Amino acid sequence: MKTGIPQNLIERVKQILPYPEIFSIKLKERIIPEIRRKTFLDSWRGIFRTTKYNEKDRRKVITELEKLIKSKNIFLS
C-alpha cells in the first residue's frame, strides 16, 4: 500500500503471461469484485497479520486497479 502499484507491472505481466489481456479481464471480472466484498478487508488483515489496513486502503487499491485497466488498454498492446 505504501509504495503503490509496481512501476514495471505492465512489462512483467507481458513477460509472464502469453495473453496479457487476460490479466486485465481477470482484474475487472474477478479480482476487483472480490476486493469490493466487505469480508475482504478482514481476510487481508489476516493474510498480512496486521490491523493497519482499513476501508480507505481498500478503496485506494480498487481505484488504482481500475485506473490500471482504463489506462489506454495497456494490456492489449
Domain boundaries of the chain, sorted by first residue: 41-70
Q: What is the pLDDT of residues 4-33, one digit of tens each?
A: 667 777 777 777 777 777 878 888 999 999
C-alpha cell read off for 40: 475482504
Q: What is the pLDDT of residues 37-76, one digit of tens each?
A: 989 988 888 888 888 888 998 898 899 888 888 875 555 5
Whether pLDDT at 77 is above 60: no
**Alpha carbon distances (Å) from 16 to 37, 66, 77:** 28, 21, 15
C-alpha cell read off for 46: 489476516
Q: Which of 34, 15, 49, 42 is nearest to 6 (CA)?
A: 15
Sort 75 into a burial class: Cβ within 10 Å, 0-12 / 13-18 / 19+: buried
